[in-house]
Amino acid sequence: MRAITFILLAIATLWLATSPPVYAQEEPTEKTSEKAERDEQIFSQPVIVDGNELFFVRGSTALPASERAEIVANRIIEFAESSESETVQMEVRSEDLGFVVYADDTMITVTTQADSEFEQMEMNVLASLQAEAIQRAILDYRANRTDAAFAQSTTAALVWSAMFAAYCVLLIFLRKRVPRFIARIVERRFHVVQAATMDVLQASAASNLVSFGIRVLIDVTLFTGFYYYISFVLHSFPQTQPIAELLIRYVTDPILGILLAIIAYVPNLITIAIIVGITAWIIKGVKLFFENVDQGTIALKNFEAHWIWPTYNLIRLTLILICAVFCFPYIPGSDSAAFQGLTILVGVMVSLGSNSVISNVLAGLFVLYKRSMNVGDRIRVGEHYGDVMQIKLMETYLKSVKNELISIPNATLLSSEVINYSSKIDGKGLLLHTTVGIGYEEPRAKVEAMLVEAARRTNGLKKSPAPFVLVTALADYAMNYQINAFTTRGSYLPLLLSELHKHISDVFNENGVQIMTPSYMADTPELKISDPNWEGDLASPDDPGNEVKQTG
């Protein structure tokens, strides 16, 4: 107890000693990343007009880059809307703050030293490039809002609408025809499976499930087409292009992200495929080895025949677990905290809910390999008596002498007393025995001779070693004699015991000796002995002597 306490205190001390440096290292890292992100938002933002990025501007704490970019964009739009001219005169002037860009004598933006350092070029060159970008943006803005441009946008929207209408007609047609066609094919092919599973798996249910899945797929395709149709129609008009780009980005970016992730995952997937392929090849080799052992081509000394396939299954399970361990690091998200937490949760749930399962599996391994019984042996487990039909990891199946199938959990089988009537110990066989009580007036030698004669008449009991009699008790009213005889027919014990009882009754009746078992109250004037040579007929229900007399 002191050792455990010392270990716990040592672990707690080590954790407390190492925790502060870790936190001290993590906090500056988090603060540095947050500061870098905040600086990026403050000091660098693009100027966007009609969804197009023109150039980047720098900002400061007094005038963040986002506000400055918005001001420049608003000036460009206001100037573009102020006239419908197809020409713009751009001019760059050097002033105190930097190079100022004018459009038709209207100030649009100022190129500062900070912008120059950010772009890593001279201020006059940068100002000239910004002026050209502004000029193109103004002319494009005006061109996209002319009557001709509006007519062209309307035409594009109508074309997209026509294409979407044809798309909807095609999908509705496929939604009506394709599920029925495929459902009929599945139902025809699935009748074989239905017959093999004795109607457990219904062909109609499988066809309905496939039909439902196809309809869901077509509905998803239709909704996706409608989503992109709305996006493309909005994109046809300059006024709604930003909204269209947002809609397209909301769906396209995740899809592109998934596709890129799949492409990036291909090397890991190839690695997993190689590991799985090697494991499958090894499992096939192990199976081939045990098939040869089963057929006798390969002989293993002291290896029982019923061990072959359970051993193969254990080796296969071990190889699969090793393969899973090797593949785990290559699974996407395996190193994430969420995935690890889910794995721990599943492990705890399995460990808490599978105690009986694990105990039965372990007991099944002991039952398989401890050689206490084999398939086909006749055994007795508690009140259950029958032949071993199958030994599995979880349970063992017995077929009783009444042709009943009995399932015994292996944990119960391992903790119970098992009597095996089919095992060969010394070659003599099983010792079948039964006990009768005979009055003291009968000579002991005569009773023993009658019991031996009854055993000799019973087919299936061995003559050598010879049957013998034991006196097991001197009771109040009779002596208890036990007849013992060897037999090698352990599977027929109930039948042999029944035949022995019949012959004991016949021999005792032939010699005028009545059996006193279990006890009696007084001697009768006549001995209670049956006629051994009775050859009469059984009473008939129509016999007048058997009619029930009614009184009253």
Give a three-class secondary structure readout of 111-161.
ECHHHHHHHCCCHHHHHHHHHHHHHHHHHHHHHCCCHHHHHHHHHHHHHHH
Contact 455, 469 (CB under 8 A): no
- Which residues is 420 bridged to in the sheet? 379
- Where residue 80 falls (left for φ over 0; alpha for ψ -120 to 50; beta otherwise) is alpha
Q: Look at the block and give the residue holding tokens 């080796």.
A: 315
H or E segment and range at residue 547: none
CA max distance for the chain: 150
* One-letter identity of residue 53: E
Distance CA 381, CA 362 (A): 19
* One-letter identity of residue 287: K
Task: Pick the closest to residue 199 from 190, 207, 208 (CA basis).
Answer: 190
Q: What is the pLDDT, as a whole number, of residue 523?
A: 60
- Edge to edge, the sheet with strand 99-103 lists 90-94, 99-103, 106-111
Domain ranges of the chain: 36-144, 359-423, 430-511
Question: pLDDT tens across 299-345, in order?
Answer: 888 777 777 878 888 899 899 999 988 988 888 777 777 777 777 88
- pLDDT-flagged residues of the chain (< 70): 1-42, 193-194, 196-201, 353-355, 371, 425-427, 517-552
Report the residue count for the chain. Answer: 552
Distance CA 125, CA 248 (A): 35
Contact 435, 480 (CB under 8 A): yes
- Which residues is 48 bridged to in the sheet? 53
- Percent of the chain as helix, strand, coil, to the nearest 5: 60, 15, 25
* One-letter identity of residue 120: Q
Q: What is the pLDDT, as a whole number, of residue 183?
A: 82
- Using DSSP, state whether 65 is helix, strand or coil: helix
Q: What is the pLDDT, as a whole number, of residue 547?
A: 47
Q: What is the pLDDT, as a whole number, of residue 490?
A: 75
Would you state the torsion angle of the CA atoms of residues 290, 295, 298, 299, taken in this order, to the nearest 10 degrees? 110
- Using DSSP, state whether 270 is helix, strand or coil: helix
Distance CA 387, CA 374 (A): 10
Topology (CATH) of 359-423: SH3 type barrels. (2.30.30)
Distance CA 346, CA 333 (A): 16
- Using DSSP, state whether 169 is helix, strand or coil: helix
Distance CA 322, CA 5 (A): 36
Phi (first) and psi of residue 473, to 5 degrees: -165, 150
* Structure-block tokens of residue 137: 């943006």
pTM listed for this prediction: 0.50
Topology (CATH) of 430-511: Alpha-Beta Plaits (3.30.70)
Q: What is the pLDDT, as a whole number, of residue 29?
A: 46
